[in-house]
Amino acid sequence: MLGELFDPKAEVLVHERLRPHWSQAGAIVFVTFRTRDSIPKSVLDRWEREKNDWMQRRGHPADRHWSEILPELPPSDRNEFRRHFNRCREDCLDNCLGHCLLRRPERAQIVANSLLHFDGDRYRMGDFVVMPNHVHLLAAFPTEDAMKKQFDSWLHYTAFQINRQMGDSGRFWQQEPFDHIVRSVDQYEYLRAYIAENPAKAGLSAGEFLYRRYEG
């Protein structure tokens, strides 16, 4: 496979910023980047309300934010919460909202070239797809800290290059990627299929996305 599966007995590094990023040396991680206008603020605000409602329906106090309660939940409840709201996010992204600037092949190629530039050196890049307003990828990083540094590098470099091509400036990406450590062979194969099938699910035609399959 591309890398190692998550080892619950090994050291895990957690970066806390707007959301936690879990990384483990050599482990395969599934990552989603999205453009800054890919999910409308009205939708994000609705999800915030729904997340708090989800907690309150299970007896948690209304004066505590869902993000404070989530780490205290039993693993089964945390997984249920994440599955539900991750699915909401993915379904929304597949509606291809926003300006969808990555629909243009030359812009998608900038992202793909960046993802592959240090492949085999700083990380191992697996399957990925560049959609009109988001990117899914599988990768493995040699150290826990390398993942965060590479995220920042990809976002900064591709934003600069795409803005320069368009004669524009300003923020291109939503700055906090979503990431998930792969925990089983079945999950790895599921995510590979998910990446491959994402364009068809979103109703895209050839030339509106860029897909790369890992053949290592």
Give the orientation angle of helix 41-57 with respect to helix 75-93, to 10 degrees. Answer: 160
Q: Which amino acid is at 186?
A: D
Percentages of the chain per state (helix, strand, coil), in multiples of 5: 45, 20, 35
DSSP-derived letter for residue 85 is: H
Same domain, 70 and 107: no
Q: Which amino acid is at 216?
A: G
Q: Which range is least confidently modeled, 75-84, 97-106, 113-122?
A: 75-84
* 72 belongs to a structural domain: yes
* 7 belongs to a structural domain: no
Please, what is the average pLDDT of the chain?
88
* 4 belongs to a structural domain: no
What is the residue range of 63's domain?
41-93
How much is the pLDDT for 18? 38
Kindly report the backbone phi and psi dihedral angles of residue 35, in degrees, each rounded to the nearest multiple of 5, phi listed first: -70, 155
Q: Which of 93, 109, 130 is the last residue of a domain?
A: 93
CB atoms within 10 A of CB 5: 16
Same domain, 191 and 149: yes
How far does the chain reach from its first CA to its final CA, in angstroms? Answer: 8
CATH (domain of 197)? 3.30.70.1290
User: For a pLDDT cut of 70, what percent of the chain falls above it?
Assistant: 88
Predicted confidence (pLDDT) at residue 122 exceeds the cutoff of 90: yes
Same domain, 120 and 200: yes
Structural domains of the chain, count: 2
Alpha-carbon separation of residue 171 from 37, 160, 163, 174 (angstroms): 10, 9, 9, 8
147-181 pLDDT per residue, tens: 888 988 999 999 999 999 999 888 999 877 788 88
Alpha-carbon separation of residue 175 from 22, 142, 208 (angstroms): 16, 23, 23
Rounded to an integer, what distance in angstroms lies between the CA atom of residue 182 and that of residue 46?
29
How much is the pLDDT for 149? 87
Give this prediction's pTM.
Answer: 0.84
Same domain, 148 and 199: yes
